[in-house]
Chains A and B, each alone.
Chain A
């Protein structure tokens, strides 16, 4: 991983050196911090999106499978995570579970809960997993029921029919809603700064606490807008491909 962080530092130096002549002094002074935070936010976003999608898929399938054990578990998971604020979830995991102490948690869990970044990633992942699970379920339910029956009638197993017939159509239906959820996740990720993670928001708050200059928040807003704007454009591009395919 050393090579990766060296690469990040080099990239951040290069970006800051490049923009320095064109940006106001107050931004140029804290450019390194902004860029560092930007990377952390981006990494967390990509990781939680990818892992969260896997959890969401498993949870949505468990729910529509009608399995007497799995379906209620999936329902409870999505209900609790969608019914409580992300900030509360973060604090339950980091301060609550993490506050139980080394003795109660054991060495492995203790090492995990002492790492704010890891806890933040876990909570963001579980949170987005719950929302995306609900979106996916909606998509699956909206694919005509007759298709599953037809697939099973020609001898496909439930899983095979899901994979080949239902899910591809469900993904297409869900795509715009999923794009919205990714934007919400990117915005929500700012809350991990409250559990000491130095993401873009964490760095911004640190810079602000030193200078007490409101412009700092506006620069952060521009950077967040760049992230959310890029997500929106990417999703729109893929959507266009999906609708012509």
Chain B
């Protein structure tokens, strides 16, 4: 039987690589969604650290975001990957366990991407927090709301509204950054394309196919972001 070539390489079934690529794209999506969840939580924590009144904690948060925003994502990812492995190994060694420990690649990638995402997200959250006029909070207290009530009923819903455009941008950036995980050999989309191209010696077909799948994912995200923004703005006057 003749080996498939060109576009036939991207078909499904045992001969084609279409299913492998789609499986890679699925890992890419999982990776991005997990990192989004962790990154949002960390970002809120960091924003809280910057907005509270104890200066050393705020400086720490500033230092962290400054470091991440000035260091290549690629470097951060490698540092997290090798660093977490070394940290866990020495942690195990403290308990007398010398077993060679390997950091799960998916976990390392989620952690790395989330740490990067959080550094940018916290600025978005802080901006959104400050965008809610303080008069509204005063009015809420004047109406007899407790501080917590005013926060959860007045401030929080509006923080989301102000934060959504910025977070949407960060999601697109992170979706594309998941491709860096291919370098630590996590079997996501780009890595599957690389394996395919090395097996068949048709790199152009495979990397173009991966590029097209990434473009599809960002295009869908773009539409979703638009909808979400419009929903968050509903009832507000249009600028």
The chain A residues found within 8 Å of chain B, CB to CB, are 80, 82-89, 91-92, 95-97, 99-100, 183, 186-191, 193-194, 201, 204-205, 208, 214, 217-218, 220-221, 224-225, 228-229, 232
B8 contacts the other chain (CB 8 A)? no
A226 nearest CB neighbor, chain B only: B70
Contact B208 A92 (CB under 8 A): yes
9 contacts between A and B (CB under 8 A): A83-B215, A84-B176, A85-B180, A87-B182, A88-B207, A95-B207, A97-B204, A201-B75, A214-B83
B87 nearest CB neighbor, chain A only: A214
Q: Which of A88, A92, A191, A224 has the most CB of B within 10 A?
A: A88
B177 contacts the other chain (CB 8 A)? yes
B30 contacts the other chain (CB 8 A)? no
Cα A194 to Cα B215 with chains together (Å)? 21
Contact B214 A85 (CB under 8 A): yes
B224 contacts the other chain (CB 8 A)? no
Contact B67 A221 (CB under 8 A): yes
Which residues of the other chain, B, contact A85 by a CB distance below 8 angstroms?
A: 176-180, 190, 214
Cα A183 to Cα B203 with chains together (Å)? 31
Contact B78 A217 (CB under 8 A): yes
Cα A229 to Cα B63 with chains together (Å)? 13
Which residues of the other chain, B, contact A96 by a CB distance below 8 angstroms?
A: 197, 203-204, 206-208
Could you tell me the distance in whole angstroms from the C-beta of B88 to the nearest C-beta in chain A? Answer: 13
Contact B180 A87 (CB under 8 A): yes
Which residues of the other chain, B, contact A95 by a CB distance below 8 angstroms?
A: 197, 203, 207
Contact of B207 among A92, A189, A217 (CB under 8 A): A92
Using A84-B215, A88-B179, A92-B204 as known contacts, say yes or no to A220 and B75 having CB atoms under 8 A apart: yes
Interface hits, B211-238 → A, CB 8 Å: 211, 214-215, 218-219, 222
Cα A86 to Cα B218 with chains together (Å)? 13
Which residues of the other chain, A, contact B180 by a CB distance below 8 angstroms?
A: 85, 87, 191
B173 nearest CB neighbor, chain A only: A184
Contact A84 B79 (CB under 8 A): no
Cα A117 to Cα B69 with chains together (Å)? 26
Contact A224 B71 (CB under 8 A): yes
B74 contacts the other chain (CB 8 A)? yes
Contact B71 A87 (CB under 8 A): no
Cα A229 to Cα B206 with chains together (Å)? 37
Contact of A187 among B67, B73, B211 (CB under 8 A): B73
Cα A240 to Cα B68 with chains together (Å)? 25
Which residues of the other chain, B, contact A88 by a CB distance below 8 angstroms?
A: 179, 190, 207, 210-211, 214
Using A80-B215, A88-B214, A92-B211 as known contacts, say yes or no to A187 and B204 having CB atoms under 8 A apart: no
B217 nearest CB neighbor, chain A only: A83
Q: Name the 10 nearest CB pairs between A and B, nearest first.
A: A190-B72, A96-B204, A228-B70, A85-B179, A85-B176, A187-B72, A83-B218, A95-B203, A99-B203, A92-B207
Could you tell me the distance in whole angstroms from the C-beta of A210 to the nearest C-beta in chain B? Answer: 14
Contact A214 B79 (CB under 8 A): yes
Which residues of the other chain, A, contact B70 by a CB distance below 8 angstroms?
A: 183, 187, 224-225, 228-229, 232
Could you tell me the distance in whole angstroms from the C-beta of A217 to the nearest C-beta in chain B? Answer: 5
Contact B176 A201 (CB under 8 A): no
Given contacts A95-B197, A191-B72, A217-B78, 13 further A-B contacts (CB under 8 A): A83-B214, A87-B190, A89-B211, A96-B204, A96-B207, A99-B197, A187-B70, A191-B74, A194-B183, A214-B79, A214-B83, A228-B71, A232-B70
Could you tell me the distance in whole angstroms from the C-beta of B145 to the nearest C-beta in chain A? Answer: 37
Cα A100 to Cα B201 with chains together (Å)? 10
B194 contacts the other chain (CB 8 A)? yes
Cα A188 to Cα B179 with chains together (Å)? 12
Contact B211 A86 (CB under 8 A): no
A205 nearest CB neighbor, chain B only: B78
Could you tell me the distance in whole angstroms from the C-beta of B191 to the nearest C-beta in chain A? Answer: 11
B86 nearest CB neighbor, chain A only: A214
Could you tell me the distance in whole angstroms from the C-beta of A177 to the nearest C-beta in chain B? Answer: 12
Cα A151 to Cα B75 with chains together (Å)? 49
Which residues of the other chain, B, contact A194 by a CB distance below 8 angstroms?
A: 183
B82 contacts the other chain (CB 8 A)? yes
Contact of B75 among A83, A97, A224 (CB under 8 A): A224
Contact B83 A91 (CB under 8 A): no
Contact of A91 among B71, B78, B177, B194 (CB under 8 A): B194
Using A83-B215, A83-B219, A96-B203 as known contacts, say yes or no to A91 and B72 having CB atoms under 8 A apart: no
Could you tell me the distance in whole angstroms from the C-beta of A228 to the nearest C-beta in chain B? Answer: 4
Q: Which of B73, B197, B201, B204 has the most CB of A within 10 A?
A: B204
